[in-house]
């Protein structure tokens, strides 16, 4: 099964995807002066989000792997999973990156897109 994983900023409009997860529940690096100008691609931002999210990422990965196993059993050929935060720069990008890496390691073919990172 082919996966497309996207990040997006809700303030830039909706996204069409099969599964959309709102990660605004995570601590926002935007409010940390030394992280504000970075993005979810940067290790300090990823470290900050991981340090403040407990086992959220691990549980999210397990949920997605369960969802994907059911989708495969039903014959899905592709699935689009999108992660949204406020601006599409920190939390959604980090989550999309980490999930893309984890699901690639689990054997899925993953295409990754950060819709609003350059805005």
Domain-located, residue 78: yes
Q: How many structural domains does the chain have?
A: 1
Domain-located, residue 60: yes
Which pLDDT value is given to residue 119?
63
Domain-located, residue 96: yes
Which pLDDT value is given to residue 118?
86
Domain-located, residue 119: no
List the one residue out of 109, 101, 111, 117 whose CA is nearest residue 7.
117
**Bridge-partner residues for 10, per DSSP?**
none
Domain-located, residue 13: yes
- What is the extent of the structural domain holding 104? 2-114
Q: With contact defined as beta carbons under 8 Å apart, do 10 and 86 qualify?
A: yes
Mean pLDDT in order along the chain per 10 residues (119 residues): 97 97 98 98 98 96 97 96 98 98 96 92
Q: Which residue has the tokens 């699935």?
A: 79
Domain-located, residue 57: yes
* Angstrom distance (rounded) from CA 105 to CA 27: 26
pTM for the complete prediction?
Answer: 0.96
**3-class secondary structure, 78:** strand
Domain-located, residue 12: yes
């Amino acid at each position: 099964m082919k996966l497309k994983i996207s990040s997006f900023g809700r303030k830039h409009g909706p996204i069409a995807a099969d599964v959309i997860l709102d990660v605004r529940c995570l601590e926002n690096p935007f409010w940390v002066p030394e992280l504000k100008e970075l993005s979810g691609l940067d290790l300090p931002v990823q470290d900050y989000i991981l340090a403040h999210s407990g086992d959220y990422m691990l549980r999210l990965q397990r949920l997605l792997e369960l969802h994907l196993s059911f989708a495969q059993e039903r014959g899905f050929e592709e699935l689009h999973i999108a992660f949204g935060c406020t601006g599409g720069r920190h939390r959604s990008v980090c989550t999309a990156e980490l999930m893309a890496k984890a699901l690639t390691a689990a054997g899925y073919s993953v295409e990754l897109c950060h819709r609003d990172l350059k805005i």
